[in-house]
């Protein structure tokens, strides 16, 4: 699929809204997406990769490549949902090029599978280019490897990367964040924040922030945290009459929504609210509730 997005004459300030819902049609496939956003255009894209268990395919092997190019001053708010079935083997590769003054924001919501790779490579090519990336990883017993590579090549470029991994059972989650600040990137600003929360069982969470700084006049910070749900929040939720499962679900959903909102905060587009109202996120979190045995060993 190849798309070129231009502003509508007379409505240049209004965002162009796109929805792409992909379902595999074969046991093995390699879909390609090419998206060009022209100068000054504001674009909102919801991209989902889901399939029903009753589609006749026992398991799917998918290798998707997406190439996204933002021209000068363009803006793209990109919500991606990747929810393969348990036995699927999925790899998604995104190449994003951001020109001067353009802004890209990607919020990824992904679940685990037999093999699941999500890799984004973002290049900030022009002065004042910016990129925000947020990933919400929801795993119960399966695997997910999320990798973000950001290359700042110009002055005043801004990069923010944030990942929240929620895992239980025997899940295996890896979050890699690599950011490179090239020589000459004067005034660049980089932030990385990775967090993992084991919900129950014995999940394996690997968090790897990494900065390569090749210029002096920059601001850069990174961090990785690993820990349980906040006990004080659980206590206050129980004090208001919620049982343990409801209290956990409420706190997890609040953490997830806050992460996505920080990435996709755009006045008036309603993209995030529209998706949240569908109930997908609440349902996915409900499926993460531990069994009695998992809760005992968590």
Classify 217 as helix, strand or coil. Answer: coil
For residue 158 the two structure tokens come to 């801004």
- Ordered by start, the domain boundaries in the chain are 2-297
Quote the radius of gyration of the chain (alpha carbons, Å).
20
Q: What pLDDT tens digit does each residue of the chain (298 aa) get?
A: 999 999 878 777 788 989 999 988 899 999 999 999 999 999 999 999 998 877 778 899 999 999 999 999 999 999 999 999 999 999 999 999 999 999 999 999 999 999 999 999 999 999 999 999 999 999 988 999 999 999 999 999 999 999 999 999 999 999 999 999 999 999 999 999 999 999 888 999 999 999 999 999 999 999 999 888 777 777 777 777 777 778 888 888 888 989 998 998 754 456 677 787 888 888 888 877 665 444 444 4
pTM, whole model, 2 decimals? Answer: 0.92
Classify 232 as helix, strand or coil. Answer: helix
Quote the pLDDT of residue 291: 52
Measured CA to CA, the distance from residue 204 to residue 175 in angstroms comes to 11
Q: What is the largest CA-CA distance in the chain?
A: 61
CA–CA distance from 68 to each of 12, 33, 162, 294 (Å)? 20, 8, 20, 42
Cβ atoms of 106 and 263 within 8 Å: the answer is: yes
Quote the pLDDT of residue 60: 93
Burial string for 110-137 (b: 16+ CB within 10 Å, else e) reads bbbbebbbbebebbbbbbbbbbbbbbbb
């Amino acid at each position: 699929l190849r798309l070129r997005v231009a502003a509508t004459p007379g409505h240049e300030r209004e965002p162009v809204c796109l929805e792409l819902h992909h379902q595999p049609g074969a046991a093995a496939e390699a879909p390609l997406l090419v998206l060009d956003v022209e100068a000054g255009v504001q674009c909102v894209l919801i991209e989902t990769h889901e399939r029903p268990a009753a589609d006749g395919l026992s398991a799917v092997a998918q290798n998707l490549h997406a190439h996204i190019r933002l021209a000068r001053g363009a803006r793209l708010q990109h919500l991606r949902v990747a929810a393969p079935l348990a036995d699927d083997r999925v790899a998604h590769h995104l190449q994003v090029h951001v020109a001067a003054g353009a802004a890209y924001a990607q919020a990824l919501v992904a679940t685990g599978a037999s093999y699941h790779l999500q890799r984004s490579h973002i290049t900030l090519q022009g002065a004042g280019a910016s990129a925000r990336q947020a990933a919400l990883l929801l795993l119960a017993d399966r695997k997910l490897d999320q990798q973000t590579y950001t290359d700042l090549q110009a002055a005043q470029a801004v990069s923010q990367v944030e990942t929240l991994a929620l895992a239980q059972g025997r899940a295996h989650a890896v979050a890699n964040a690599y950011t490179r600040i090239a020589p000459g990137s004067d005034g660049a600003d980089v932030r990385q924040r990775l967090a993992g929360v084991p919900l129950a069982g014995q999940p394996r969470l690997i968090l790897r922030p990494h900065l390569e700084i090749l210029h002096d006049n920059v601001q850069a910070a990174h961090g990785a945290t690993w820990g349980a749900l906040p006990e004080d929040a659980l206590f206050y939720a129980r004090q208001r009459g919620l049982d343990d499962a409801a209290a956990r679900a409420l706190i997890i959903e609040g953490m997830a929504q806050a992460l996505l909102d920080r990435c996709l905060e755009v006045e008036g587009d309603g993209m995030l609210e529209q998706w949240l109202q569908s109930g997908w996120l609440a349902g996915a979190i409900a499926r993460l509730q531990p069994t009695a045995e998992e809760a005992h060993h968590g």
